[in-house]
Amino acid sequence: MDTSFVLNDGVEIPAIGFGTYTIPADGSAYRAVREALDAGYRHIDTAAAYFNEREVGEAVRDSGIPREEVFITTKLWLQDYGREAARDGLDACLRRLGTGYIDLFLIHQPYGDVPGAWKALEDAKRDGLVRSIGVSNMTPAIWNRFVPGFDTSPSVNQVEFNPYCQQRILAEEMRGYGTRIEAWAPLARARGGLLEDPTVLGIAEAAGRTPAQVVLAYEVGEGAVVLPRSVNGARMRENLGFRDVRLSDADRAALRSLDRGRGTHDPDAPGVAEFLLNAFDVHGGQ
């Protein structure tokens, strides 16, 4: 089982990361990241719009793990799109994290002045402030609107991805760019029935593994970077056990058959851009 992948720019990324979405910056994010690092995670995913970058950075610094051994991803929010604004947004992320550089920096939502923001990310990569750059929540339609005009191919597209939402059309669009899928909600947010699905349960029982381990092993085997989130230490460690799962060709075929061709979030839906832009202010008191 792969424990890391090499991105299209030559940077190595751990195949599993610890997601921090919705973990509040009231000490909870700090504790969760410290526990994840203690459990063996070496990839932490955050964002300006998660409002917990400071605690993530503090946890990484306090862990005693050398900085170069921890892969840190963060994301630029809509209010900082455009070339100049994105430079300021990147500087703010770097200040909050306090980790010197960012391993992977993403455009979080694909609306507004995406080309200008992408230019700023290319500048940052050239200047050594970030190691890799990518996008997030791009559908095939959005991908084809923006990415063919980029000078640099995104290293990842972080999207909803799990056996119920396998992004096959998107993966085909991305293939020529060497861009890798990075999965948010790899366990379908632990709801929606995925971990109770009879197919998943049957494979897990036969393998002597948990449903979550089976799902994560399948996704990594499909070439995706996975970002499960949990504040439960036992669950964090359980998720890392995906590396010991061996799926047969029949198991993989059965899991592929679960694809519903859609997820819980539709970035192409009318009004999504306006809703997200007005959802909160990343400049307000971080």
Catalytic residue among 21, 30, 41, 50: 50
- Is 177 part of the annotated catalytic residue set? no
Query: Contact at 8 Å (CB) between 257 and 198?
Result: no
Residue 197 lies in a domain: yes
Residue 173 lies in a domain: yes
Q: Which two tokens stand for residue 145?
A: 């609107």
Residue 283 lies in a domain: no
Domain span at residue 119 reads 4-277
CATH of residue 103's domain is: 3.20.20.100
Task: Tell me the pTM.
Answer: 0.95
DSSP strand pairing (130-136 vs 4-6)? unpaired
47/56 Cα distance (integer angstroms): 10
With the CA atoms of 58, 62, 68 and 74 taken in that order, what torsion angle do they form, in degrees rounded to the nearest 10?
-20
Number of domains in the chain: 1
Per-residue model confidence as pLDDT tens for the chain (286 residues): 679 999 999 999 999 999 999 999 999 999 999 999 999 999 999 999 999 999 999 999 999 999 999 999 999 999 999 999 999 999 999 999 999 999 999 999 999 999 999 999 999 999 999 999 999 999 999 999 999 999 999 999 999 999 999 999 999 999 999 999 999 999 996 555 899 999 999 999 999 999 999 999 999 999 999 999 999 999 999 999 999 999 999 999 999 999 999 999 999 999 999 999 888 889 876 6
Q: Which two tokens stand for residue 255?
A: 């899991």
Residue 282 lies in a domain: no
Residue 165 lies in a domain: yes
Secondary structure (3-state) at 78: helix
